[in-house]
């Protein structure tokens, strides 16, 4: 193989490694504006440890409160939303196309004391490629259908 071909291949491989973008989470508020967060951004928020069971197996998750993540965008809270807050919901989108919905009243502390978490670790290890890099965990739910794996976006919307 010629020197030229080897240098082109080397340049391509170096570019591919340097251009890898870390996974991100898009969070969109009621005003349509969004922020994009990385695992590094989440690591700067108050960290939480959650001991729960996942399909009957004890598990310890590490991450942040969903409320702390959502605080980065406009939410349906305050006097302006007094009569309409219950008509909002959060759509969770996953890399594989899976979607789940949480009613806003389930997430707003003015309505309910329920904690949902955005986690990045399980049992002291980063989440597997199958589950991560971001997963929603909602302790206390009898079925884990809304424990969304590979979360890519959280969108606050209003029911029409």
Map out the domains of the chain with their CATH numbers: 24-158 (3.90.420.10)
> Mean pLDDT throughout 9-33?
74
Average pLDDT value over all residues in the chain: 89
Alpha carbon 144 to its chain centroid, in Å, reads: 15
| Rounded Cα distance, 34 and 38, in Å | 13
Q: Which residue has the higher pLDDT, 4 or 144?
A: 144
> Mean pLDDT throughout 137-141?
91
pLDDT over 90, % of the chain: 70
Between the alpha carbon of residue 100 and those of residues 73, 80, 97, 107, the distances in Å are 20, 27, 10, 14
Tens digit of pLDDT for each residue in 90-122? 999 999 999 999 999 999 888 888 899 999 999
Q: Which residue has the higher pLDDT, 50 or 111?
A: 50
Cα-only R_g, the chain: 19
pLDDT over 70, % of the chain: 87
Q: Which of 8-12, 60-64, 110-114 has the highest mean pLDDT?
A: 60-64
At 16 the pLDDT is 47
Q: The dihedral of CA 82, 26, 71, 132: what is its sign?
A: positive
Q: Are strands 125-126 and 135-137 parallel, antiparallel or unpaired?
A: unpaired
Between the alpha carbon of residue 11 and those of residues 3, 7, 77, the distances in Å are 12, 6, 51
pLDDT band at residue 160 using 50, 70 and 90 as cut-offs: confident
| Rounded Cα distance, 131 and 61, in Å | 12
| Rounded Cα distance, 68 and 134, in Å | 15
Cut 0.75: pTM above it: yes
């Amino acid at each position: 193989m010629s020197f030229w071909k080897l240098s082109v291949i080397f340049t391509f491989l170096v570019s591919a490694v340097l251009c890898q973008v870390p996974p991100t989470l898009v969070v969109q508020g009621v005003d349509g504006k969004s922020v994009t967060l990385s695992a590094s951004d989440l690591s700067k928020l108050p960290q939480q440890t959650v001991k729960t069971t996942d399909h009957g197996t004890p598990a310890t998750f590490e991450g942040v409160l969903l409320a702390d993540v959502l605080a980065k965008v406009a939410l349906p809270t305050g006097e302006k939303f007094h009569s309409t807050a219950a008509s909002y919901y959060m759509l969770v989108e996953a890399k594989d196309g899976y979607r789940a919905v949480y009613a806003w009243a389930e997430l707003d502390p003015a309505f309910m004391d329920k904690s949902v978490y955005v986690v990045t670790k399980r049992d002291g290890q980063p989440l597997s490629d199958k589950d991560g890099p971001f997963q929603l965990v909602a302790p206390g739910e009898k079925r884990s259908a809304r424990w969304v794996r590979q979360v890519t976006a959280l969108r606050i919307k209003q029911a029409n």
